[in-house]
Structure 1
Amino acid sequence: MTLMTAEKAAPAPGRNHLGDLVLERKDALRLSYEKLAARCVDPESGEQTVKSSWLHRIATRLPVQAPDVPALRGMAAGLGVPLRLVQDAASAQFFGVDPVYSDTEAVRAMVYHFEEMNEEDQRKIQALIEAYKRA
């Protein structure tokens, strides 16, 4: 496991972005904390990066050590979401850093997926948004 060795840190007041993401994805994937932790494997090292107890603690708003980059990569793989989504959630929860473009997880996910599309698909999505805006 590759969590930072610093003291356990409580989230910034009123923030549980990463914990909420863990809980949301755990429920969506219908996995136990043990099975979810087993999926959290850093694609670069091939090592499991978080324990089930850590996932449970962060999802239930208990103090945890802030995850390091390998742990974030492993969590992205385990949760089945883009790494940027996990990074944003961790930055917001532990450091109070918010993405500029939106406060909601859904909008951030849409932005990430949009960035991954080819130019033709991006143009189609933009046209669809403009059509809804005019309606």
Structure 2
Amino acid sequence: MIAVTARDGGPRTDLSDLVRRRRLELGLSWRSLSAACVDPEQKERGSLWGRTTLDTLSRGGHIKTPKLPELRALAAGLQLTLGEVQEANGSQFYGVDTVWSADGEVRALVEGYREMSPEDQVRVREFVESRRRVKRV
């Protein structure tokens, strides 16, 4: 696992927080969530997440960085889009934050966005908004 730290010096826990929150919202046990974590593109493989691994992840413990099939399976189990799970994964394991335009049409993946000064964050958001206005051919 790659250790990515937050501005306060602690580890990033975006995916851990998402798993913990969403499991509670859905009212699932760890066993039920584990059973639901099947990659829709490789159903024959069955569940790609064990309940112990999911619990460890939700507590911010060390796990191997998930690959795309595991992320698809986790998205299915949490009943979220793959993009939502990928964003949380990128933040926690790689320190990459997604910055969206106001209309949700344009996004930028920015390493260390949260650790930037407020002024630099404004510049990034302005850049993303400027891309929204570029005429597409």
TM-score class normalised by the smaller sequence? 0.5 to 0.7
Aligned length: 98
Q: 1:15 aligns with which of 12, 19, 25?
A: 12
Q: Which residue of 2 aligns with 1:95?
A: 94
Query: What does 1:101-116 align with in structure 2 at a 5 Å threshold?
Result: 101=100, 111=104
Q: Which residue of 1 aligns with 2:53?
A: 54
1:25 is aligned to 2:22 = yes
Per-residue CA deviations over 1:57-108 (Å, capped at 9, x if unaligned) read 1100111111110000000000000000000100110000000228xxxx9x
Q: TM-score by structure 2 length? A: 0.66
Q: TM-score by structure 1 length? A: 0.67
Can you give the 5+ residue segments of structure 1 that lack an aligned partner in the other structure? 1-8, 113-135
* C-alpha distance in structure 1 between counterparts of 2:41 and 2:70, whole Å: 11
State the SS of the aligned residue for 1:25. Answer: helix
Can you give the 5+ residue segments of structure 2 that lack an aligned partner in the other structure? 6-10, 106-137
Distance 1:111 1:20, change over 3 A: farther
The structure whose residues are more often helix, as a share, is 1
RCO higher in structure (CA 8 A, sep ≥6): 1
Structure 1 stretches of 4+ with a deviation exceeding 2 A read none
The structure whose residues are more often strand, as a share, is 2
* C-alpha distance in structure 1 between counterparts of 2:36 and 2:93, whole Å: 23
Residue identity over aligned pairs, in percent, reads 37
